[in-house]
Amino acid sequence: MKRETVIVLDFGGQYNQLIARRVRECNVYCEIYSYKTEFEKIKALQPKGIIFTGGPNSCYEAGAPSYTKEIFELGVPVLGICYGSQLMMHLLGGRVEKAPVREYGKIEVTVDQKSKLFGGVSEKTICWMSHNDYISQLAPGFMASAHTADCPYAAMECEEKRLYATQFHPEVLHTKEGQKMLSNFVYGICGCKGDWKMDSFVEQSIQAIREKVGKGKVLCALSGGVDSSVAAVMLSKAVGSQLTCVFVDHGLLRKNEGDEVEAVFGPEGEYDLNFIRVNAQERFYEKLKGVEEPEQKRKIIGEEFIRVFEEEAKKIGAVDYLVQGTIYPDVVESGLGGESTVIKSHHNVGGLPEYVDFKEIIEPLRDLFKDEVRKAGLELGIPEYLVFRQPFPGPGLGIRIIGEVTAEKVAMVQDADAIWREEIAKAGWDQKVNQYFAALTNMRSVGVMGDERTYDYAIALRAVTTTDFMTAESADIPWEIIGRTTSRIVNEVKNVNRVLYDCTGKPPATVEFE
């Protein structure tokens, strides 16, 4: 069955993924393609609508990202946003030039409520603007449908050809009624019905996997993180005991995490799959002995993980399929989808199939954004505490212990982290911050306990708010919670006599310590 699809044509804007997510929030499937994608390919996709993104360039400059004018003749509705709106005007005979007044921030826009794009939107509405160029003259056949004090053409349209454009960004939350506008576009203008629903996605995926795999053998590296857990459950529902999940406990997991993963996926759990837990703690600690340099630690953990996984895979023998928990942002960020710059590739423990004897990879979550993966997880009946897990790095506590990793230090940071997480959750702050954990600084300092001098370690607490983890802010956790956590840590965790709170944002720090 063909899914109705809206295409985002990416001109290098920073909000490209956001546009696609907002469209999907309208229950319409949406994919991102670079402006370099051939017109024939776009045409063959038979989109219900096309959205041009913003971008950093000036469309009238030589070499600026552009597209063939034929796209406006397809009869498919097009919405141009920011750079996309300027490009539309430029290509169709309007004029774009440097704006006399640069608009940036939340700006009041007056809209023409008769426009299909603005049906149900307030006449005066706050929108997010960020532009140096402006449209000084409309293309023939277009009429203005919104303006601001400084921008005569804040939105424009040619209803007959179903071409729409906004100088502002409807996709960002600062545009108060932006979601309404996007919904007007995909429903009222493109005529979508909204067939992108997680329950049917899950059902159809299970069916498709079943047909593909037949009686084949499937192998999955399970980390207990959201993506691999959702992928594993989907596979187990599709092919049951033909699936084997290998869970490598590298001894760098959070407190009790290994047992929690086993409780869900192991023999006592409710899924019909073969679960292999490899307790490889000692091997990892041995390899990490004496190693202090962060990158070297990351490398060792990553490589050792592959070795362990490979050994297990050899025992299982040749498999037909290997499952990977790749999600849509991975696809876009690795440059396969849109046009945005490649973002630093994190070392992910897991995956890396070259060493394993298999025929094909299955990536059941390849089309999903993170919030959709969580929705799919809930559809599949995975417990909420797993579905809403905060991110946890592949190298685990290995990069939350500064300097050499030892079993004793792992225990210290596990205990402190468990207390911090418990106190944050108890106070309801787990809903307000995006990631929080304890790290072990390698610093020892003098303290006093009873009448005794101590010379012990300092724990650092971290809590950040962020939308994309590329930048982050240190969260202003109430002093009371920090205080309570501090006294519990120094009382309950051996060899710790000091607790510090990390007030640094990213940049200049990173979220993790190494």
Question: Which active-site residues does the annotation give?
Answer: 82, 169, 171
- Of 269 and 391, nearer to ligand XMP (C-beta) is 391
Nearest approach, Cβ of residue 38 and ligand XMP (Å):
34
> How many residues appear in the chain?
514
Dist CA 205 CA 373 (whole Å):
13
Instruction: Using the CB atoms, write b or e for 154-181: b if 16+ within 10 Å.
Output: bbbbbbebbbbbbbbbbbbebbebbbbb
- Of 469 and 501, nearer to ligand XMP (C-beta) is 469
Nearest approach, Cβ of residue 196 and ligand XMP (Å):
27
Of 28, 325, 54, residue with least CA distance to 179: 28
- Of 27 and 441, nearer to ligand XMP (C-beta) is 441
- Of 64 and 402, nearer to ligand XMP (C-beta) is 402
Structure tokens at 213: 């795999």
**What Å distances lie between residue 391 and 241, 358, 386, CA to CA?**
29, 29, 11
Nearest approach, Cβ of residue 170 and ligand XMP (Å):
28
Structure tokens at 485: 């956590």
CB 6 within 8 A of CB 42: no
**What Å distances lie between residue 190 and 78, 141, 153, 211, 477, CA to CA?**
9, 20, 23, 33, 45
Radius of gyration (C-alpha) of the chain in whole angstroms:
26
Nearest approach, Cβ of residue 225 and ligand XMP (Å):
8
Instruction: Report the interface residues with ligand XMP, using CB under 6 A.
Output: 346-348, 391, 393-395, 435, 469, 506, 510-512
Nearest approach, Cβ of residue 390 and ligand XMP (Å):
8
Of 26, 9, 29, residue with least CA distance to 82: 9
Angle, vertex CA 184, rays to CA 182 and CA 189, nearest 5: 110
- Of 391 and 447, nearer to ligand XMP (C-beta) is 391
